[in-house]
Chains A and B, each alone.
Chain A
């Protein structure tokens, strides 16, 4: 198992992994692919990416990731201190106005991530490359940019070496997707952005980094050790659903959004392909988002709330059973200070989930997640981040080998961005608690600190 492992959280109840969850604190590309690609398929994809890379490299010096080509601007115009994917106020407006600023251009980009993981004490039950070997982790192809004057797209297909449960098999599937149309009514006194979005991951449409879909780091994380149960809003429906939503952003102060999610099958299956057995949810499931923002001098801040209400069939092959109902409420906060040569960013995200099971007599569960992250970047080149996670749940439908729940720890990280398309970093995740305890976390003598993981990564995009 690994960072994209499935959480069979309903042990004894789920025949199939209905609730696919990302499992550590350093996950940007939320996905849980399961489609195994053949060896020839892998070669084909590599060849394709290499050809595309050469094609792009043969273009002019501004031929950088698609959005930068579209605007002609440096990545740091949209990404705080050059930290992908964290957005500056301008980057947020670029997204809210439908990815349409600039001009139509070749809407393609590629991204690759190499990682080396070293787990303090190797856990044979959890994933690969725990010995520090530098390994190709994920590669993505982006279709991103202005489509029409007021409509644009961000769509990602990801090849993930670690999507499988065993071996070095490659898995490819739809990743984050956000298609939107937006318009802006503005004069000196009023500024109203309104738009519609079609996307495949609750929160991926958000423009703040405190949304779980974007919040936890630049690269896929480590090995899957210390994997907690996480709320549905934290990737539980990623690339499994189709969401159609409408939003407004008034006077750059108030953001409000209403989105409905349906199962991503049928006409919407292009948004969920290659991501394992299709999760089935009942009808249209609402998501509400409200955020207040304010900017002063070089500072800007956001405080927001969101609510997700999902009815999911525990067994997607049997729709005659009652659904389980997941109700998530979150409060999140983001702060940024952006003035060359300094970039400071901080996020806090608190999610509380209630799970009411459809099975008569089954006791309800709760899941609580708290994450915080603070970063400093100097001259958009040298950066340091510290993040904290504390995730726990009740144990009625969920199980734990210790009879307790709760994962808690820290991840300090330093990174270097020698040029805007390449980033190298080292992070160390320290587990204070796994399965609610610091020692004997698996019932066989393993300590929480045995899961501590050192990770080195090289991230590149073009």
Chain B
């Protein structure tokens, strides 16, 4: 047997060996692949293995409420959420996930430790904190903490927003305010209706720095 043949046999053996486990599979259409494997092999590329994404295009998932993650993945799968970040990236990723995999994925990221952004603009963040804590009474904007919690930690009904990327928060507030792309977040349409662009920037900046 010459060198080439030996090499090809070794390569095919290696490839065949790699086909026998689902623990490190990147197959998004195999119901047998555990959610944790998908989280680490695929989701981690954008969202981070610990759920703390680097690029603000992709939201941090660490510590997110499990029920919220299940709801969002289910919405992506059914195309119930159609904002660009959702449809361009997540429709395809979620299209064949099973309910069990979605639950496992949600559990994986909910268990991760969130890491907040560091303070970058104290004045802007202070303005945002005032809106977060007190709302804007004359614009019919309630305090964010009313639903999302005093530390933005969320609960079974509302998502965690603490420590989320400011750019992601601001873009989603604009999605709620200006579009119908997230119908299950319709309550936010009323709340954001009178928020001005600079107020969106301020509250997003503050939220990104909440560390608990």
Contact = CB atoms under 8 A, between A and B. Distances in A.
Interface of A: 62, 68, 71-74, 76-77, 89-90, 93-94, 97, 100-104, 146, 148-151, 181, 183-188, 191, 196, 198, 244, 266-267, 295-298, 300, 338-340
Query: Nearest 9 CB-CB pairs, A to B?
Result: A72-B92, A103-B29, A74-B88, A150-B18, A73-B92, A101-B26, A93-B45, A186-B40, A149-B19
B89 A74 contact: yes
A101 B28 contact: yes
B57 A338 contact: yes
Given A101-B41, A297-B56, A338-B55, 17 more contacts: A62-B92, A72-B28, A74-B87, A77-B89, A89-B45, A89-B55, A100-B26, A103-B28, A149-B18, A149-B25, A150-B18, A150-B19, A151-B15, A187-B40, A191-B49, A295-B54, A338-B57
B42 interface: yes
B93 A71 contact: yes
B167 interface: yes
A205 to B, nearest CB: 15
A90 B45 contact: yes
Interface in B1-30: 4, 7, 11, 14-15, 18-19, 24-30
Contacts of A185: 24
Nearest to B167: A339
B24 A72 contact: no
B44 A90 contact: no
Interface string B88-121: 1101110110000000000000001000000000
A146 B87 CA distance: 22
Interface in B47-106: 49-50, 54-57, 84-85, 87-89, 91-93, 95-96
6 contacts: A181-B14, A181-B15, A187-B40, A187-B49, A191-B44, A198-B11
Nearest to B48: A188
Given A102-B28, A186-B49, A188-B50, A150 B15 contact: yes
B32 to A, nearest CB: 11
B4 to A, nearest CB: 6
B55 A339 contact: yes
Contacts, number: 112
A345 to B, nearest CB: 14
B46 A188 contact: no
Given A103-B96, A185-B24, A187-B49, A148 B40 contact: no
A209 B40 CA distance: 26
Contacts of A266: 4
B57 A340 contact: yes
Contact of A183 (B4, B24, B57, B96): B24
Contacts of B91: 72-73
Nearest to A72: B92
B26 A148 contact: no
Contact of A298 (B19, B55, B87, B93): B55
Nearest to A295: B54
A181 B56 contact: no
A339 B57 contact: yes
Nearest to A182: B18
Contacts of B92: 62, 68, 71-73, 102
B88 A73 contact: yes
Nearest to B5: A267
A97 B172 CA distance: 31
A449 B88 CA distance: 44
A186 B30 CA distance: 20
B28 A148 contact: no
Contact of B55 (A146, A186, A267, A295): A295
Contacts of B88: 73-74, 76-77
B195 to A, nearest CB: 20
B57 A196 contact: no
Contact of B26 (A102, A188, A296): A102
Nearest to A148: B19
B49 A297 contact: no
Contacts of B41: 97, 101, 184, 186
A358 B18 CA distance: 45
Q: Which of B30, B45, B56 has the most CB of A within 10 A?
A: B45
Nearest to A152: B26
Given A62-B92, A150-B15, A339-B167, A184 B46 contact: no
A89 B45 CA distance: 8
A401 to B, nearest CB: 44
Nearest to A190: B49
A339 B57 CA distance: 6
Contact of B7 (A181, A184, A244): A244
A90 to B, nearest CB: 5
B57 A296 contact: no
A77 B88 CA distance: 7
B18 to A, nearest CB: 4
Given A148-B19, A338-B57, A340-B84, A101 B42 contact: yes
Given A74-B89, A102-B92, A103-B28, A186 B15 contact: no
Contacts of A104: 29
Given A73-B93, A181-B18, A186-B41, A149 B54 contact: no
